[in-house]
Structure 1
Amino acid sequence: MNMSRTRRERLVVIGGDAAGMSAASQARRLKGPDELEIVAFERGHFTSYSACGIPYWVGGDVTDRDRLIARTPEEHRARDIDLRLRTEVTELDLDGQRVRARDVDTGEESWTSYDKLVIATGARPIRPDMPGADAAGVHGVQTLDDGQALLDTLEGTRGRRAVVVGAGYIGVEMAEALINRGYDVTVVNRGSEPMSTLDPDMGCLVHEAMEGLGITMVNDAEVTKILTGDGGTSLLERSRELGGSRVRGVVTRDREFPADVVVLGIGVRPETALAKAAGLPLGPHGGLLTDRSMRVRGHENIWAGGDCVEVLDLVSGQDRHIPLGTHANKHGQVIGTNIGGGYATFPGVVGTAVSKVCDLEIARTGLREKDAHRVGLRFESVTIESTSRAGYYPNASPMTVKMLAEHRTGRLLGVQIVGREGAGKRVDIAAVALTAGMTAEQMTTLDLGYAPPFSPVWDPVLVAARKAAAQVRGTLSRG
Structure 2
Amino acid sequence: MGVRMVVVGADATGMAAASQARRLRDAGELEIVVFEKGRHSSYSACGIPYWVAGDVADADDLIARSVAEHRARDIDLRMRTEVIEIDPVGRRVLSRDLDTGAQGWTGYDKLVLATGATPIRPPLPGIDAEGVYGVQTLDDGQALIDGLESADGRAAVVVGAGYIGVEMAEALVRRGFEVTMVTRGAQPMSTLDPDMGARVREAMEGMGIRVVCDAEVTGIPTSQDGKARAVATADTEFPADVVVLGIGVEPATELARRAGLPLGESGGLLTDLAQRVRGYDDIWAGGDCVEVLDLVSGTMRHIPLGTHANKHGQVIGSGVGGGYATFPGVVGTAMSKVCDLEVARTGLGEDDARREGLQFHAVTIESTGRAGYFPGAKPMTVKMLAERRTGRLLGVQIVGYTGAAKRIDIAAVALTARMTVEQVTALDLGYAPPFSPVWDPVLVAARAAVRAVAKGG
TM-score category, normalised to shorter length: over 0.9
1:184 counterpart (165, 175, 178)? 178
1:278 counterpart (241, 253, 259)? 259
State the alpha-carbon separation in 1 of the partners of residues 227 and 302 from structure 2.
33
Is 1:67 the counterpart of 2:61? The answer is: yes
State the alpha-carbon separation in 2 of the partners of residues 266 and 276 from structure 1.
23
Match of 1:385 in 2: 366
CA deviation profile, 1:253-288 (whole Å, cap 9, x unmatched): 000111111111111000111001111111101100
State the alpha-carbon separation in 2 of the partners of residues 187 and 373 from structure 1.
29
Report the CA distance between 1:245 and its aligned residue: 3.0
2:250 counterpart (266, 269, 273)? 269
Match of 1:241 in 2: none
Is 1:350 the counterpart of 2:350? The answer is: no
Question: Number of matched residues?
Answer: 457
2:26 counterpart (2, 10, 32)? 32
1:422 counterpart (403, 427, 436)? 403
Match of 2:89 in 1: 95
Is 1:215 the counterpart of 2:236? The answer is: no
Is 1:455 the counterpart of 2:436? The answer is: yes
State the alpha-carbon separation in 2 of the partners of residues 377 and 170 from structure 1.
30
- Letter of the structure 1 residue corresponding to residue 364 of structure 2: T
Report the CA distance between 1:63 and its aligned residue: 1.1
Is 1:247 the counterpart of 2:228? The answer is: yes
Match of 2:161 in 1: 167
CA deviation profile, 1:300-337 (whole Å, cap 9, x unmatched): 10000000000000000000000000000000000000
Match of 2:112 in 1: 118
Is 1:336 the counterpart of 2:317? The answer is: yes
Fraction of identical pairs, as percent: 73
State the alpha-carbon separation in 1 of the partners of residues 55 and 206 from structure 2.
20
- Letter of the structure 1 residue corresponding to residue 69 of structure 2: E
Report the CA distance between 1:448 and its aligned residue: 0.5
Runs of 4+ in 1 over 2 A off after TM superposition: none
Match of 1:239 in 2: none
Match of 2:135 in 1: 141
CA deviation profile, 1:174-225 (whole Å, cap 9, x unmatched): 0111111111111001011001010000001110111111111111101011
| SS of corresponding position for 1:371 | helix
Is 1:443 the counterpart of 2:424? The answer is: yes
1:131 counterpart (125, 144, 149)? 125
Report the CA distance between 1:156 and its aligned residue: 2.5
CA deviation profile, 1:143-164 (whole Å, cap 9, x unmatched): 2122122122222222221110
State the alpha-carbon separation in 1 of the partners of residues 130 and 79 from structure 2.
25
Report the CA distance between 1:229 and its aligned residue: 2.7
Query: Gaps spanning 5+ residues in structure 2: where?
Result: none
1:155 counterpart (123, 145, 149)? 149
State the alpha-carbon separation in 2 of the partners of residues 150 and 103 from structure 1.
26
State the alpha-carbon separation in 2 of the partners of residues 189 and 387 from structure 1.
30
State the alpha-carbon separation in 2 of the partners of residues 303 and 137 from structure 1.
38
Report the CA distance between 1:250 and its aligned residue: 1.2
| SS of corresponding position for 1:322 | coil
TM-score normalised according to structure 2 size: 0.99
Is 1:371 the counterpart of 2:365? The answer is: no
State the alpha-carbon separation in 2 of the partners of residues 181 and 101 from structure 1.
41
State the alpha-carbon separation in 2 of the partners of residues 285 and 140 from structure 1.
22
State the alpha-carbon separation in 2 of the partners of residues 376 and 355 from structure 1.
29
State the alpha-carbon separation in 1 of the partners of residues 121 and 131 from structure 2.
13
CA deviation profile, 1:321-377 (whole Å, cap 9, x unmatched): 000000000000000000000010000000000100001000000000000000000
Is 1:193 the counterpart of 2:187? The answer is: yes
- Letter of the structure 1 residue corresponding to residue 336 of structure 2: S
Is 1:298 the counterpart of 2:279? The answer is: yes
| SS of corresponding position for 2:384 | strand
State the alpha-carbon separation in 2 of the partners of residues 264 and 189 from structure 1.
11
